[in-house]
A = this chain, B = another copy of it.
Amino acid sequence: MSYPAGYRIERERPRRRQSGETARLKAIQAAIELFAVGGYGGTSIADVAAKTGLSQSGLLHHFPSKTALLSAVLEHRSKEDADFLFDGEQAPLGWEAFDAMVSLVARNSTRPDWVGLFVRLSAEATEPGHPAHQWLLDHYSSLRRWLGEALEDGKVHGDVAQDAPVEAIVNNTIAVLDGMQQQWLCAPGSFSMVAQFRTFIESIKTTWG
């Protein structure tokens, strides 16, 4: 059975009840903002529900449990980060990868909630039993792989010194990124994350370029 073009079975109609998808997105956004301040453990689903404009049970209709909500938040975050960094294109290699990280820092500077979300969750999720633990491991692992490959590629092309300690450079880059955000949260606006991160990148380029 087929229909002529333009024919729609389900036409748009005004409705009081928002669609499940709308409610989910609103809730995820609310959860991001609240987790960013209180972390996962310090935020109640009632808080998220209130910010979403739902009762607690109303929220639990869309996310059967608090951890389900967390999973949705993490998935959302990972996706947006990947979209920003790569956006369908090939991941940059060589020092360009580190320049891409600078862009990421610039983007983060405009999104305190995302910085807070990561800083809080990653500290909590260090613990093996935490519901975001695996996510955190995956996050680090993919970041390490990408930056590691970028440096190895740079060695092949002669942009990176042959004796550059890849693992240490990669880990330190990630460490600067995370530690800087931690400091920045204490006093947002007290320094430029971009400028500071650039200083770091310049230093490693100078040393192992």
Query: Interface of A with B (CB < 8 Å)?
Result: 37-39, 41-42, 116, 119-120, 122-124, 126-127, 136-137, 140, 165, 167-169, 171-172, 174-180, 182-183, 185-187, 191, 195-196, 199-200, 202-204, 206-208
Contact = CB atoms under 8 A, between A and B. Distances in A.
A183 B186 CA distance: 20
Contacts of A140: 183, 186
B179 A182 contact: yes
22 contacts: A38-B41, A38-B127, A39-B123, A120-B123, A123-B124, A126-B186, A165-B199, A167-B191, A168-B195, A168-B200, A171-B183, A174-B179, A174-B183, A175-B175, A175-B179, A175-B180, A175-B196, A176-B176, A178-B178, A178-B182, A203-B203, A203-B208
A196 B168 contact: yes
Contacts of A202: 207
